[in-house]
């Protein structure tokens, strides 16, 4: 009976689903048949809102807006007004103005607004801000990541915006890259699961709902892998590597339903991705079956001409990109794209079929988003916007992301009665806690914009009382200041412990490029002055990428990485420092010790050669000796692993392998533990990785509690991409490793 009902329901939903598809296709065909070429090209054009402003004057210029919407029929707008982030009411006004201009068109196809909602609705005042993605990865908790995206979707829709340029699915290969913190870190599997969770949270399986938005995977593909570590510089990535490590991340997000994708501003092996028909059309659209919208990144068609120099003119650049498979151009400050594309189609250099394909994809997304039913939201219908409930979710996310990397002599947690010195340039800064993409592109105004949110210092003061907390800034991020160092040293004499808050300035993209991975010199000086005092130091790292601390770390007792934990991060950190929250984050990347030792955790065996040789000064000469390895993360309690079991020791090429392990909380405090399963293929015709993450699960354990965690590995987990670009597995021995346990099985 139950089965019959399920079958009936399934048939019912399938019928509804396909009826909806038919209706959508019909509507698209109808619209296409009515549209002029100019109107179609307008749909493919995205302009930044600032283009519709007049210098020095507040609000939108109707003349400029009408030019865009009524003369060029532009189909999409992005970004904030110049220099500020609106609240939901102001967003409503902006959308109403755009809608009114559009409704005067012969064929008023709704304008699709897109925004960088990067860690919450980060361009809307009053929105709930989560940790940046790198911190969300450190939670190793897909539920938290999904919930965060759901809230971000809700608050973005409350701002009348239906489309977010998120998640970031980049796979950074150089820790100096300025956008590491926008990614989920260095691992393909972790990034895939987190990306999927974010797409699910944003889209909720129904982007037409007023609580969900269309997501945009970015930046397809290889963007995070620049050889120099600087933003938008070339990458060299063999296709075999690209297919094994980068492509699966997009494949997973597409399977999860991602509706759009943004192309990488970079070049791979000499071809800018925006010019690659192979990557955009053959691989993304045909091979992966991606049916959504392909949008360029900022100005990237123009840059094919002016920066990459693969096109002699802008017209040529438009031709290359559109023929490569781009559907929408984030032009974004002029109408050159419209003018050149019109000429190209009129002269038969771009076929109408390509235009119709692009426009159909865009119309489909607009229909699915329900934009034809209205583009303006009523903020009153979003009572949970910025609510205590949402803020609490952001707090929980921050609390689960913060990663305890060292805790010598159990120097943490602190006692509220002890006198401490809080110092360092990131100790009293909301800018530092949030980083870029926070109310402004570079996130430089956060301190003035959220005066009610607590910095690390304020949160510690709130927890321990101001009389027990001494403070001085101690150092500037960039400028030398001896007086401040002296002040910190003098104050430290009255304190039993020092909380040293170091990190980075706010940045994203090219303005975040650095020439040295070491943490800045004034901060090193401060640290060196303080370690001489022989007092316990707790180093709090508040940074977007791992800045080297090897000049002084050996004299530091505790190290806490808080990444860019967002508006609630100060409170979450204070709760961890005082033991009210047990830390459970884990590093989503290898934290390097030296600038010329940037191996990843899933290195090849030849990247560790010196490890096996006699070495007097191992610390300095070993080839693989990161400061902290991927997956590092301590707790105030202890966990023991036992009883690792595999259901088979020999498997065939279609078997699954069931793995189980017992985890026990052997300490005195309840705690969360991320159980990570690594697999090693011991011998393979393509040099195998030392180990690769294949599964993870975060569990909660009370003191003395034991849980059995179960995982199932499948054949894909045993495979790699060979030189013929095929996923294959080879017979031989594999090793499963969880905690300190390991077991082998043989693939027959
Ligand atoms: C960034 C993208 C962003 C876009 C729109 C670009 O400069 O690379 O990540 O989504 O701008 O603001």
Q: Is 509 in the pocket of ligand 1 (CB under 6 A)?
A: yes
The per-residue pLDDT for 201 is: 98
Mutate to test the pocket of ligand 1, among 133, 165, 296, 333 (most ligand atoms within 8 A of CB): 165
DSSP conformational letter for 225: G
pLDDT at 323 over 60: yes
Give distance in angstroms: CA of 178 to centre of ligand 1: 13
Please name the residue that has the structure tokens 């297919």.
243
The class of domain 402-592 in CATH terms is alpha beta
Decide if 470 contacts 422 (C-beta within 8 A). Answer: yes
Q: Is 223 in the pocket of ligand 1 (CB under 6 A)?
A: no
Is the N-terminal amide bond of 221 cis, ω within 30° of 0? yes
Q: Is 299 in the pocket of ligand 1 (CB under 6 A)?
A: no
As a whole number, mean pLDDT of residues 361-383 equals: 97
As a whole number, mean pLDDT of residues 331-352 equals: 98
Distance CA 666, CA 407 (A): 17
The per-residue pLDDT for 701 is: 98
Q: Is 218 in the pocket of ligand 1 (CB under 6 A)?
A: yes
Continuous segment of H or E residues that includes residue 112: strand 112-115
Share of the chain above pLDDT 90, in %: 94
pLDDT at 528 over 90: yes
The per-residue pLDDT for 15 is: 57
The class of domain 639-747 in CATH terms is mainly beta
At 615, the pLDDT band (50, 70, 90 cuts) reads low
Q: What residues does each domain of the chain span?
A: 23-381, 402-592, 639-747
Give distance in angstroms: CA of 630 to centre of ligand 1: 28
Q: Is 303 in the pocket of ligand 1 (CB under 6 A)?
A: no
The per-residue pLDDT for 384 is: 98
Rounded to the nearest 5 percent, the helix, strand and coil shares of the chain are 40, 20, 40
Per-residue tokens: 717: 């987990």
Q: If you average pLDDT over every residue of the chain, what do you get? A: 95
The per-residue pLDDT for 609 is: 75
The per-residue pLDDT for 61 is: 97
Residue ID of nearest Cα to ligand 1 atom 7: 298
pLDDT at 281 over 60: yes
Per-residue pLDDT tens for 48-76? 999 999 988 889 999 999 999 999 999 99
At 611, the pLDDT band (50, 70, 90 cuts) reads low
pLDDT at 446 over 60: yes
Q: Is 298 in the pocket of ligand 1 (CB under 6 A)?
A: yes
Least confident of 224-228, 658-662, 671-675, 735-739: 224-228
The per-residue pLDDT for 610 is: 67
C-alpha distance from residue 482 to each of 423, 479, 489, 526 (Å): 14, 10, 11, 9
At 84, the pLDDT band (50, 70, 90 cuts) reads confident
Distance CA 312, CA 305 (A): 6
The per-residue pLDDT for 16 is: 57
Residue ID of nearest Cα to ligand 1 atom 11: 298
Least confident of 20-24, 115-119, 325-329: 20-24
The residues that bridge with 711 in the sheet, in sequence order, are 659
- Among residues 116, 170, 187, 297, the one annotated as catalytic is 297
The per-residue pLDDT for 549 is: 98
Per-residue pLDDT tens for 421-434? 999 999 999 999 99
Residue ID of nearest Cα to ligand 1 atom 2: 297
At 5, the pLDDT band (50, 70, 90 cuts) reads low
Helices and strands counted in the chain (H then E): 22, 26
As a whole number, mean pLDDT of residues 258-282 equals: 98
The per-residue pLDDT for 56 is: 84
Q: Is 297 in the pocket of ligand 1 (CB under 6 A)?
A: yes
The per-residue pLDDT for 58 is: 85
pLDDT at 19 over 90: no
Mutate to test the pocket of ligand 1, among 115, 262, 303, 440 (most ligand atoms within 8 A of CB): 262
Distance CA 593, CA 741 (A): 27
Q: Is 165 in the pocket of ligand 1 (CB under 6 A)?
A: yes
Nearest atom, ligand 1, residue 265 CA? 8
Residue ID of nearest Cα to ligand 1 atom 8: 297
At 11, the pLDDT band (50, 70, 90 cuts) reads low
As a whole number, mean pLDDT of residues 614-620 equals: 52
Told to judge if 297 belongs to the known catalytic residues of this protein, a careful annotator would answer: yes
Distance CA 611, CA 320 (A): 49
Decide if 584 contacts 633 (C-beta within 8 A). Answer: yes
Second-level CATH architecture of 23-381:
Alpha-Beta Barrel (3.20)
The per-residue pLDDT for 239 is: 98
The per-residue pLDDT for 4 is: 54
Q: Is 116 in the pocket of ligand 1 (CB under 6 A)?
A: yes
Distance CA 138, CA 580 (A): 19
Please give the distance of CA 456 from its chain centroid, rounded to a whole number.
Answer: 23
Share of the chain above pLDDT 70, in %: 96
The per-residue pLDDT for 129 is: 98
The per-residue pLDDT for 468 is: 96
Residue ID of nearest Cα to ligand 1 atom 6: 298
pLDDT at 3 over 90: no
Give distance in angstroms: CA of 582 to centre of ligand 1: 36
Taking each helix axis as running N to C, give the angle between helix 569-577 and helix 456-464, from 0 to 180 degrees, rounded to the nearest 10: 50
Give distance in angstroms: CA of 166 to centre of ligand 1: 10
Per-residue tokens: 239: 């296709």
pLDDT at 608 over 80: no
The per-residue pLDDT for 464 is: 96
The residues that bridge with 268 in the sheet, in sequence order, are 235, 271
């Amino acid at each position: 009976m139950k089965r019959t009902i399920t079958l009936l329901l399934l048939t019912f939903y399938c019928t509804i689903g396909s009826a909806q598809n038919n209706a959508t296709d019909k509507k698209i065909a109808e619209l296409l048949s009515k549209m002029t070429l100019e109107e179609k090209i307008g749909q493919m054009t995205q302009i930044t809102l600032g283009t519709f402003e007049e210098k020095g004057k507040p609000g939108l210029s109707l003349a400029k807006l009408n030019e865009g919407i009524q003369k060029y029929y532009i189909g999409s707008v992005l970004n904030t007004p110049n220099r500020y982030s609106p609240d939901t009411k102001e967003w409503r006004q902006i959308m109403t103005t755009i809608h009114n201009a559009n409704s005067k068109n012969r064929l008023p196809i709704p304008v699709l607004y897109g925004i960088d909602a990067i860690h919450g609705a980060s361009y809307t005042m009053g929105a709930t801000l989560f940790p940046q993605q790198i911190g969300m990865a450190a939670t190793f908790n897909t539920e938290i990541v999904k919930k965060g995206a759901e809230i971000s979707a809700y608050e973005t829709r409350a701002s009348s915006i239906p489309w977010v340029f998120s998640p970031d699915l980049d796979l950074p290969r150089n820790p100096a890259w300025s956008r590491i913190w926008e990614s989920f870190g260095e691992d393909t599997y972790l990034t895939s699961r987190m990306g999927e969770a974010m797409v699910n949270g944003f889209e909720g399986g129904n982007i037409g709902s007023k609580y969900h938005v269309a997501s945009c995977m970015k930046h397809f593909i290889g963007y995070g892998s620049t050889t120099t570590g600087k933003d938008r510089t070339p990458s060299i990535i063999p296709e075999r590597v690209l297919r094994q490590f980068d492509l699966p991340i997009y494949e997973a997000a597409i399977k999860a339903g991602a509706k759009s994708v943004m192309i990488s501003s970079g070049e791979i092996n000499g071809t800018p991705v925006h010019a690659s028909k192979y990557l955009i059309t053959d691989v993304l659209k045909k091979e992966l079956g991606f049916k959504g919208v392909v949008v360029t990144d900022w100005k990237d068609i123009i840059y094919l001409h002016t920066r990459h120099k693969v096109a002699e003119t802008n017209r040529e650049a438009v031709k290359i990109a559109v023929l490569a498979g781009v559907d929408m151009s984030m032009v974004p400050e002029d109408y050159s794209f419209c003018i050149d594309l019109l000429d190209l189609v009129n002269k038969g250099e771009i076929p109408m079929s390509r235009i119709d394909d692009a426009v159909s994809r865009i119309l489909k997304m607009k229909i699915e988003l329900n934009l034809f039913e209205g583009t303006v939201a009523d903020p009153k219908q979003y009572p949970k916007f910025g609510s205590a409930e949402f803020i609490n979710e952001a707090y929980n996310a921050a609390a689960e992301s913060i990663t305890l990397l060292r805790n010598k002599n159990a120097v943490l947690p602190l006692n509220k009665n002890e006198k401490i010195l809080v110092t360092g340039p990131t100790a009293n800064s909301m800018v530092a806690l949030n980083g870029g993409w926070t109310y402004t592109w570079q996130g430089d105004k956060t301190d003035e914009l959220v005066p009610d949110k607590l910095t690390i210092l304020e949160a510690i003061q709130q927890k321990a009382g101001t009389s027990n907390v001494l403070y001085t800034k101690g150092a500037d991020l960039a400028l030398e200041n001896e007086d401040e160092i002296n002040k910190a040293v003098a104050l430290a004499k009255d304190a039993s412990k020092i909380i040293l808050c170091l990190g980075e300035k706010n940045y994203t993209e090219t303005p975040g490029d650095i020439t040295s991975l070491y943490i800045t010199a004034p901060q090193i000086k401060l640290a060196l002055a303080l370690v001489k005092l022989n007092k316990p130091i707790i180093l709090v790292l508040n940074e977007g990428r791992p800045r080297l601390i090897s000049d002084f770390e050996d004299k530091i007792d505790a190290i806490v990485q808080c990444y860019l934990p967002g508006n609630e991060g100060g409170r979450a950190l204070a709760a961890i420092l005082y033991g009210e929250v047990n830390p459970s984050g884990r590093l989503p990347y290898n934290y390097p010790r030296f600038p010329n030792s940037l191996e990843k955790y899933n290195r090849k065996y030849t990247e560790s050669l010196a490890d096996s040789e006699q070495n007097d000064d191992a610390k300095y000469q070993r080839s693989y000796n990161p400061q902290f390895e991927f997956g590092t993360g301590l707790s105030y309690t202890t966990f023991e692993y036992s009883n690792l079991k595999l259901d088979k020791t020999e498997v065939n090429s279609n078997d699954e392998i069931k793995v189980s392990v017992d985890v026990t909380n052997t300490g005195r405090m309840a705690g969360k533990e991320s159980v990570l399963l690594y697999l090693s293929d011991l011998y393979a015709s393509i040099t195998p990785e030392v180990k690769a993450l294949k599964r993870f699960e975060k569990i909660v354990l009370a003191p003395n509690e034991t849980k059995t965690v179960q995982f199932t590995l499948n054949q894909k987990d045993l495979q790699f991409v060979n030189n013929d670009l095929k996923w294959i597995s080879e017979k031989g021995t594999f090793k499963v490793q969880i905690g300190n346990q390991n077991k082998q099985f043989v693939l027959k």
